[in-house]
Structure 1
Amino acid sequence: MAVDPHEAILQELAPQSPGEPFVMLNLLRFAPDGRASYEEYSRRAAAFLRQYGGELLYAGDGDTPLVAAHGQAWDAVLLVRYPSREAFSRMVADPGYREITRLRTRALTEAVLQPTTPWSRRAG
């Protein structure tokens, strides 16, 4: 299962609306005893988030899904606002940030990182 974004995908992200703010949806499934590692990652990642202009908008535990196929429940959901895709790309390329991602990788069995675009910016 996927946990970390591949380099090729990250390279495709920045040119898409590079100067526009966006919100990243994070869906997380923890490994056994992975929550503590993720919490340590979150504490360390907060400094990088601030440095690159990001803001945690929401973090919460997943409950029983109302509409989902078997196995689609998530342990946690986060919404993180970034000032731009370029800022996000610079953050994940930062050597200090890359050093702490091992904590995130160890913590998770599966993840979804989905950049979102506000409907107010859609044509029509």
Structure 2
Amino acid sequence: MTTESDDRPVNLTAFANLDPDAPVVMINLLKFNNSGGAESYLRYTREVQPHLARVGGTVRYAGTNPVSIIGDSERPWWDAILVVEYPSPQAFTDMVTDPGYQQIHGHRAAALAQGDLIATAQWTLG
């Protein structure tokens, strides 16, 4: 599976390294296209809500205007970050492979010059 404007492969087999019964938190690092990218992404966020709800996904954080406090440049490469929690890796897979979701995914693909999606598992500190 690839996205409309991103020919990098989607690696759903990476979930094999995560607990199948534990929540997975997806970190979205988003670089918008200069021409209407942010607006297209906002359309995607509105249309994806029922798909998130169907699988039990929850947006935990959305942020823009990043500046580097520690780093090699004044700003990171991305324009926005979105953190979404799913009850399990399978819930995320169920959403992105659903034909209804595939119909709206084009808005996300059209919005982004680059969109990295990173799956993370809970880490207990201490």
The alignment's TM-score, normalised by the length of structure 1, stands at 0.85
Cα root mean square deviation, aligned: 2.2
- Structure 2: gaps spanning 5 or more residues: none
Superposed counterparts of 1:78-89, under 5 Å: 78-89=82-93
CA contact (8 A) 1:21 1:85 kept: yes
Number of residues of Structure 1 aligned to a counterpart in Structure 2? 120
Amino acid at match of 2:106: R
1:33-76 Cα distance to aligned partner (Å, 9 max, x none) = 20110000000001100000000011110322222334733211
Moved more, 108-117 or 88-97: 108-117
Note the C-alpha offset of 1:12.
Answer: 3.5
| Alignment partner of 1:117 is 2:103 | no
Alignment partners' CA distance in 1, 2:108 and 2:7: 9
Alignment partners' CA distance in 1, 2:114 and 2:46: 20
Amino acid at match of 2:76: Q
Aligned position for 1:17: 19
Gap change, CA 1:15 and 1:91, over 3 Å in 2: farther
Aligned position for 1:69: 72
- Structure 1: gaps spanning 5 or more residues: none
User: How much identity, in percent, do the aligned residues show?
Assistant: 38
Moved more, 85-94 or 71-80: 71-80
Amino acid at match of 1:101: H
Amino acid at match of 2:14: E
The alignment's TM-score, normalised by the length of structure 2, stands at 0.84
